[in-house]
Chains A and B, each alone.
Chain A
Amino acid sequence: MTSHAAREGGSRIDRPPLKKRLADASAPYLYTAPALILIVTVMLVPLVLGISYAFRDIQLLNPFSGGFIGLDHFKALSQDQNFYRALRNTLWWTGWSVLLQFVFGLILALLLDKPFHGRAIVQALVFLPWAVPSFLAGLNWAWLFNPVVGPLPHWMFALGLMSEPSNILSDPQLALWGPIIANVWWGIPFFAITLLAALQAIPRDLYEAASIDGAGPVQRFFSITLPFLAPTIAITVLLRTVWISNFADLIIVMTNGGPADRSQIVASYIFTQAFKRLDFGYASAIALVLLMLLITYSMLIVVLRQWLLSKD
């Protein structure tokens, strides 16, 4: 507008003063500055700092550490058998936790979608585990698995699943299953809540039309419920996978990665390196590898989703 007027008039008088032009040009930057500064300080600075640790020798108890060491941490990491076991355990932990949480969450959501007497109270109760702090949940389950104070080993012994009432958390072969069971208990409500919301958004008359068209309950589930839930399932499974693979609380509380690092996942291994051995540099290097793996996974999912959408 102003430049247009200036061209038409051809005189310098039409041009607004320098101060006004400066203010106009800088206005958008000034408006966005507070948000940008906040994002940079809160998100980017810690990220860059953390990444830089991965290339430096930072040990909390060694005042002479702190120097740049290049890729030394990654070389050490490539020969670290504990890291590879933690990586395998992460797959195991994440896979079973997400799968069981999803399956039980879906079953629960389908049950809660049917009207019955006292449904509101049952719904509220079902969502309770989600409100329990993860450390409390971990302690609780650790005690349940403990044959001295908890009933579970005795029940499993009585059912013939165990040769003696022992603690599975101290069995190297089974230790990871303790936190997985606790995690499933703790995470079912998340899937139940989100899937129930998606279920309730499905128009009821579609089910009626399908039943008149001749579909039984199983056919209705596969031709109506599942297609409607698919987007929600995709996004919740993606979210939970990233979340659970980073989620070390239950393992730290229940087994502390033991016995003999057998239940260590990458996230808990990072925690152990950083806060038990106080080697921040090595911990940051592991964290960077985990970050790369998760970014790769997310990208694959996004690409897969795009491909599915374009195929449609």
Chain B
Amino acid sequence: MASIDISAIRKSYGILPVLHGIDLEIRDGEFVVLVGPSGCGKSTLLRMIAGLEAVTSGEIRIDGKRVNDLAPKDRDIAMVFQSYALYPHMSVAKNMSYSLRLRKTPAEKIASVVAGAATKLGLDPLMERRPRALSGGQRQRVAMGRAIVREPKAFLFDEPLSNLDARLREQMRAEIKKLHQDLGATSIYVTHDQIEAMTLADRIVAMHGGIVQQVGSPLELYDNPANLFVAGFIGSPGMNFFEGRYMRSGETASFALTGGAVLPLPSTANLPDGSRATLGIRPEHVILGAEGPDAMLAKVDLVEPTGFGIIVHLTLGSVAFKAFTLDRRFLGMQGEVAVRLPVPNLHFFDEAGRKV
């Protein structure tokens, strides 16, 4: 168990920069999820922590010790790969004990540690099998078993659930979380799936274009996104955005949507009068079938039942947006519906995309 400090990390491939100065402090025992779209540099950052990629500049410290120039085997970390990377010519037991055998651990110790991990992961009946005789979920478990037998300083996960089907992914997600609660090991988990990030993380690191966009607890990122990227990336269905102009007159203000509609705002935001801005609202906060002076008529394009709730695709002016409701009355909705965008749930982003 150890803390991991990352300071001013940069990475370039030739002249192509992929990480632009990352600073991150991971506390002992914390579960941190790096999340972002493909190509945002999250896997590169993880591989740099593992020692599989060279650091262009900056410093990585594990347990206070600089590891920039240490080989992966000397960093005392364990990694779970997306492809599992199990040794195909070794049995499950041999796969799990490989690292211990390399360290010349006594045979009795290996046997007891491997047996303990196998029981924890439910692998007992499979120990003599080869990886090709296992299902995807079982292989995933073996890969985790291989990581936990070593009791490393930190666990690194590189999209470990991406190759599993949806049901199994849900199950393994819960198992990983339970395992982390049992072991309390420092973990860094890379994923592009924001549901995995939300459910697993103590803290989420949202990345985009090689830059950290926001670091915080899952609900902080959900309720209070720092910028347009985080607002759009976290949450499913994603946040609705309306472009427009912020109008201010004395103590009251309004937001003129690009489509023509004007939304009165009782309080003022920290935006100059007449500036271009983006208004965001999560689909579940859009009120359908509203009455009152600030209700607007929106055209219903499509109704998607998900079983749990209903996603309604709407058009306001010329801007498409979505509403999410648990009320099944809206299942057969057609034509137009009155909607209201409640002010407390609105997010404003300035022209540069920063939250105000």
Contacts and interface: CB of A to CB of B under 8 A. Distances in A.
A223 B83 contact: no
Interface in B15-59: 50-52
A228 B73 CA distance: 22
A179 to B, nearest CB: 38
Interface stretch (A24-32, A88-96, A210-218, A297-305): A210-218
Taking residues whose C-beta sits less than 8 angstroms from the other chain, chain A's interface range is 10 to 19
B85 A214 contact: no
A211 B81 CA distance: 13
A228 to B, nearest CB: 8
Interface centre among B71, B73, B86, B146 (most CB of A within 10 A): B73
A210 B81 CA distance: 12
Given A208-B52, A219-B102, A223-B98, A213 B146 contact: yes
A203 B85 contact: yes
Contact of B81 (A209, A214, A224, A228): A209
Given A203-B83, A205-B83, A227 B89 contact: yes
B159 to A, nearest CB: 12
B99 A214 contact: yes
B234 interface: no
B72 A212 contact: yes
A54 B146 CA distance: 63
B72 A223 contact: no
Given A208-B52, A209-B79, A223-B98, A215 B85 contact: no
A206 B87 contact: yes
A101 B355 CA distance: 68
Contacts, number: 54
Taking residues whose C-beta sits less than 8 angstroms from the other chain, chain B's interface range is 20 to 34
Nearest to B102: A214
Contact of B71 (A205, A211, A227, A228): A211
A228 B88 CA distance: 9
A208 B79 CA distance: 9
B81 A223 contact: no
A209 B84 CA distance: 9
Given A219-B102, A223-B98, A227-B89, A212 B73 contact: yes
Interface centre among A211, A212, A215, A223 (most CB of B within 10 A): A212
A213 B102 contact: yes
Contacts of A212: 50-52, 72-73, 77-79
Nearest to A208: B52
Contacts of B86: 209
Contacts of A211: 51-52, 71-73
Given A206-B87, A208-B52, A223-B98, A213 B81 contact: no
A216 B103 CA distance: 11
A213 B77 contact: no
Interface string A221-234: 00110011000000
Contacts of B52: 208, 211-212
Contacts of A203: 83, 85
A205 B85 contact: yes
Contacts of A209: 79, 81, 85-87, 146
A219 B104 CA distance: 13
A213 B83 contact: no
Contacts of B99: 213-214
A215 to B, nearest CB: 6
B100 to A, nearest CB: 9
Given A208-B52, A213-B98, A214-B103, 10 more contacts: A203-B83, A208-B72, A208-B79, A209-B85, A210-B87, A210-B98, A214-B102, A215-B73, A223-B87, A223-B98
20 contacts: A203-B85, A208-B50, A208-B52, A208-B81, A209-B79, A209-B81, A209-B86, A209-B87, A209-B146, A210-B87, A211-B52, A211-B71, A211-B72, A212-B72, A212-B73, A214-B73, A214-B102, A214-B103, A224-B87, A228-B89
